């Protein structure tokens, strides 16, 4: 059986920028609210969001299991003339340094065991920006993972970041990366 790394490496080898080179729309639409500082892009893939954050003055750490994806992220960064730090690691065991980040970004990756590490990794006043697939009856036939464990339940992000001040939240069917998807998006601040 293939490991997660082999599966993702293959995907990134077969297709250039499977998620596109353009940043996620929710991130793009909120970039001016976010300020600047140190950001961790979790499961960054081939760098569309990491590079965009660097272009907007952020000092970026981008972590992903796939060295192929991270190589492409570095190529994109060079092309856009910015610097990002890439870290190849399995997020099952990746330790997030406590109180290090002003922002943690996580797009289209759901591992609920990470949430307590994310909370600890943020500075006081730091923010989480999170978007991924939502279990929604309206999502049938839309782009989504088959395994339901990768789908958020309604209100789940709000509950999991219950101690945070919510700055923006939405659930529903929206267009992202050129595809219609049922998603939830959260921007929230650590108190």
Ligand X SMILES: C[S@@+](CC[C@H](N)C(=O)[O-])C[C@H]1O[C@@H](n2cnc3c(N)ncnc32)[C@H](O)[C@@H]1O
- Contact of 61 with 154, CB cutoff 8 Å: no
Dihedral sign (CA 178, 174, 132, 73):
positive
Smallest distance, Å, CB 171 to ligand X?
Answer: 18
Q: Which is nearer to ligand X, 93 or 191 (CB)?
A: 93
Q: Is 97 in the site for ligand X (CB under 6 A)?
A: no
Q: Is the dihedral of CA 108, 113, 119, 122 positive or negative?
A: negative
Stretch of 90-98, 135-143, 148-156, 167-175 lying at the interface with ligand X (CB under 6 A): 90-98
The answer to whether 109 contacts ligand X (rule: CB under 6 A) is yes
Binds ligand X by CB under 6 A, chosen from 19, 56, 86, 185 = 19
The footprint of ligand X on this chain (CB under 6 A) covers a number of residues equal to: 18
Which is closer to ligand X, CB of 58 or CB of 107?
107
The DSSP secondary-structure symbol of 31 reads: H
Residue 37: CB partners within 8 Å, gap ≥ 6?
58, 59, 101, 102, 103
Site for ligand X in 34-63 (CB under 6 A): 43-45, 48
* Nearest Cα residue to 39 out of 112, 111, 123: 123
Per DSSP bridges, beta strands 38-42 and 165-176 are unpaired
Subset of 111-150 contacting ligand X (CB under 6 A): none
Residues that bind ligand X (CB under 6 A): 4, 8, 19, 24, 43-45, 48, 64-66, 69, 90-92, 107-109
């Amino acid at each position: 059986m293939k490991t997660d790394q082999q599966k993702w490496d293959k995907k990134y080898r077969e297709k250039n920028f499977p998620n596109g080179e353009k940043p996620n729309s929710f991130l793009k639409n909120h970039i001016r609210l976010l300020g600047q500082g140190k950001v961790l892009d979790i499961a960054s893939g081939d760098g569309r969001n990491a590079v965009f954050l660097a272009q907007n003055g952020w000092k970026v750490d981008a972590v992903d299991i796939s060295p192929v994806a991270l190589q492409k992220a570095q190529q994109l960064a060079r092309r856009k003339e910015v610097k990002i730090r890439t870290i190849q690691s399995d997020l099952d065991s990746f330790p997030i340094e406590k109180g290090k980040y002003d922002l943690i970004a996580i797009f289209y990756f759901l591992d609920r065991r990470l949430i307590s590490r994310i909370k600890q990794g943020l500075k006081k006043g730091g923010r989480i920006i999170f978007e991924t697939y939502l279990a929604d009856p309206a999502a049938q036939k839309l782009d989504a993972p088959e395994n339901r464990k990768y789908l958020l339940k309604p209100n789940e992000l709000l509950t999991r970041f219950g101690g945070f001040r919510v700055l923006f939240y939405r659930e529903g069917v929206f267009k992202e990366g050129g595809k219609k998807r049922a998603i939830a998006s959260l921007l929230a601040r650590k108190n």
